Structure 1
Amino acid sequence: MSADNENHPRGHRFSVEDARARAQQAYRKSEFIFSRAYGLLREPNKEWQQIRAEETTVPNILLGYVAPLAAIPPVAGLIGALVFEPIRVGPIDSALVSVVVTWIVTVALVFLLGLLINALADQFDADRDDLSAHKIAAYSLTPAFLSGLFSLWPPLWWLSLFALAAMVYVMYRGLPILMKTPPERALSYAASVTIAAMVAGIVLFSLASCVG
């Protein structure tokens, strides 16, 4: 038997094992994301305490947590449009470019939101902490990211409004724990950040639509 024939089954076995390992890793990550979202809504204080204790970096948060979640709204939106409103989609290549651009802009928006949270800390008697600010930005947006699944059926888009309220609530509960914000200032802090994020999002996504 030639060396090529001997190596082929082994290479095939490794590729199958690698695919299985990747699938298991993706399952564990999705399980962690939904567990975190559930914890932030059900027991926010406990979940934020756990988040505060986690040792990580801003790039790890953006690439390991935000990036996968940020893909949900544009991908689900494209799928929903293709199924229910194919005429509105236009050329598929342009639609895919729009998805990628929206994804990149969303990750950038979360990064900018973290910078904003840290920059506003002094105005709300909170402590400046860059890592904690980016944790607040990333994990508070979890409900908004997951609400992108409603785009799979366009008539359900309005349910995303509840995700916005959930985002403000989650941020409000997290600011005193991670940024040492006085409890009486946390709600106004969260509201200010949310309004600023919405304005920045409108501007950035408008620019992204021009590129897409």
Structure 2
Amino acid sequence: MLTHVWGLLAHPNREWKQIHDEKETITHLYGHHVLIMALIPVACAFIGTTQVGWDFGGGHTIRLNYFDAFAAGVAFYLAMLIAVGFMGTVIHWIAKRYSSRPSRRRCIIFAGYVATPMFVGGVVALYPLVWLCMLAVVLGLCYSAYLLYLGIPNFLDISREEGFVVTGSTLGIGVLVLEALLGVTVLLWGYGAKLLGIEL
């Protein structure tokens, strides 16, 4: 369980080759990695928004009650799980033009592991200071981009030269997906489920 997290953060080149040789399934990826890692930002945001509250500066803090935070957490969790599958499908669509033609399964597995730094960075939501959370998102995105760049030749078997196009296209779409998730985060975690008309 979670055996690749440290490897992807500490020695990603070697770890990608190991993951490549494992012939993992999507079910195993979600059951042993994505479902667990996606809980990190959700659980930390739940604690942070109910115990500390979002700090928007100027002494203005928004704290959610437990029911609203739980509803927001469930929605955010599902959005992240869907985003991993969506990005894997995007990578598969982009990579079809290359000779190696990785399967959709491999591309979704790839996307799940590339998202690891973003999941880990969610720990900062324990103290939901807006600028701190944004910094964590930027750093997580940069390291995810690095994993993407290293993983394309080592996991998807696409040459490094061809991989620049895959990396650039995937990052562009990934940033749009991330912005959508951040928008959902602000709505759900920042203002509470009641703002969206959810009555609990």
TM-score by length of 1: 0.75
Residue aligned with 1:162, SS: helix
Return the alpha-carbon distance in structure 2 between the equivalents of residues 173 and 47 of structure 1: 10
Shift in alpha-carbon separation, 1:141–1:211, aligned structure 2, 3 A: farther
Q: Deviations over 1:147-188 (max 9, x none)?
A: 000111223321331111000001110111222212023244
Q: Gaps (5+ residues) in structure 1? A: 1-28
Partner of 1:100: 74
Shift in alpha-carbon separation, 1:64–1:39, aligned structure 2, 3 A: closer
Kept in 1: contact 2:50–2:66 (CA 8 A) = no
Kept in 2: contact 1:168–1:191 (CA 8 A) = no
Kept in 2: contact 1:102–1:205 (CA 8 A) = no
Q: Deviations over 1:8-56 (max 9, x none)?
A: xxxxxxxxxxxxxxxxxxxxx35x2xxx233223322211111011133
* Structure with larger Rg: 1
- Give the Å deviation of 1:74: 2.0
Please tell me the root mean square deviation across aligned C-alpha atoms, in Å.
2.4
Partner of 2:107: 133
Is 2:57 aligned against 1:77? no
Identical aligned pairs, as a percentage? 22
1:1-212 equivalence runs, <5 A: 29=1, 32=3, 36-85=4-53, 88-123=62-97, 126-155=100-129, 156-157=132-133, 158-203=135-180, 206=183, 209=188, 210=196
- Give the Å deviation of 1:92: 2.0
- Give the Å deviation of 1:200: 2.8
Residue aligned with 2:24, SS: coil
- Give the Å deviation of 1:206: 4.8
Q: Which amino acid aligns with 1:41?
A: L
Kept in 2: contact 1:150–1:160 (CA 8 A) = no
Kept in 1: contact 2:122–2:136 (CA 8 A) = no
Aligned length: 180
Shift in alpha-carbon separation, 1:177–1:144, aligned structure 2, 3 A: same
Return the alpha-carbon distance in structure 2 between the equivalents of residues 187 and 42 of structure 1: 23
Residue aligned with 1:154, SS: coil
TM-score by length of 2: 0.79
Q: Deviations over 1:43-85 (max 9, x none)?
A: 2221111101113311221232101111111221121222322
Shift in alpha-carbon separation, 1:163–1:202, aligned structure 2, 3 A: closer
Higher helix share: 1
Return the alpha-carbon distance in structure 1 between the equivalents of residues 83 and 20 of structure 2: 22
Return the alpha-carbon distance in structure 1 between the equivalents of residues 47 and 184 of structure 2: 22
- Give the Å deviation of 1:205: 6.3
Q: Which amino acid aligns with 1:192?
A: S
